[in-house]
Amino acid sequence: MRYLFLLLFLTFPAILLSQEGIILEKIEFFERGYEAPKEEITYATDFSKENTRYIWTRVFVQNLFYQKTDQSHLVLFRYYNPYDSLIAEFTATLNIKREQEKAYASRGWGWEEPGRWKNGIYRVEVYIDEIFMGEKQFIIIEQKYLQPAEQTVELIKIKFWESPESGLEINKRVYTNKFLKSKTRYINTTLEIKNLQYGISDNTVNLYLKYYLPDGTLWEIPKISVVIEQDWEYAEIYNGCGFSEPGFFEPGTYRVEVHYCGEIFAVGYFTITTQ
């Protein structure tokens, strides 16, 4: 296991949090090997298990002492695994000259060969001069769910229903977007879709869901991998997440994104209430 460091300077908009002399503008991720990247970078939050080596974290800041004085800050990066255990932490000195309006610092963690990351949701915390400035999440998932391709199904409707962990028969499902906390176990997302391969060939569909908590934290990433037979013009596919017992969902509005063929295919919302 080895780590990386790179310090460069750029200009970017948007403001998040501030520390004396600087404003944290954003946190981004990208995949590379051990060597510092020299080519153009594409930022992302979803990465392929099969192809990912190092996940770099790049922190962008704005210089509030522009044309006034030089400054130096200590940046701390903390990486947490899907079980929320600390797996790595690194520091970097961020030196900013008075004539520089913007700056960024980067650290990376991973392996020189791909395929060693575990699937799941990871989190990186950023501290500057020992003050927590922000955090961001990224996911590792199988390549088949990320592969850009022509979509072979068309969305008709997204809908939600509650069930035990074992699910429910179709005729027992109650579709709604409001659920009572004291009675809610699993919240399932069903997609009504039209098969664009109808009458042509069987249709393999790989997609994944992102469940976001009311505070915006990514919570779970259920996956759907199905084969729709060529004689089915329409189909319903689903997956969900939750708890074996009711009462554990926090009240508020949850966001569910459906990702398919490398883009957001659908978005839906449901609300947990206390009465």
d(CA 83, CA 52): 19
Q: What is the pTM of this model?
A: 0.88
* Burial class of residue 60 (count of CB atoms within 10 Å of its CB; 0-12, 13-18, 19+): buried
Taking the CB of residue 203, how many other CB atoms lie within 10 A of it? 19
Q: Please give the pLDDT value at position 11.
A: 31
pLDDT tens digit string along 162-220? 999 999 999 999 999 999 999 999 999 999 999 999 999 999 999 999 999 999 999 99
pLDDT tens digit string along 16-39? 445 678 999 999 999 998 776 667
Which tokens sit at 148? 């850009």
First to last CA, the chain: 51
Q: What is the mean pLDDT of residues 80-109?
A: 95
Same fold, 2-141 and 153-273: yes
What is the domain partition of the chain in residue ranges?
2-141, 153-273
Residues 210 and 120 sit within 8 Å (Cβ to Cβ) = no
Which CATH superfamily does the domain covering 2-141 fall into?
A: Macroglobulin (MG2) domain (2.60.40.1930)
Please enumerate in sequence order all residues whose Cβ is within 8 A of that of 81, keeping only pairs 6 or more positions apart, or say none: 87, 118, 120, 122
Whats the size of the chain, residue-wise? 275
Which tokens sit at 247? 């009462």
**CATH number attached to the domain at 153-273:** 2.60.40.1930
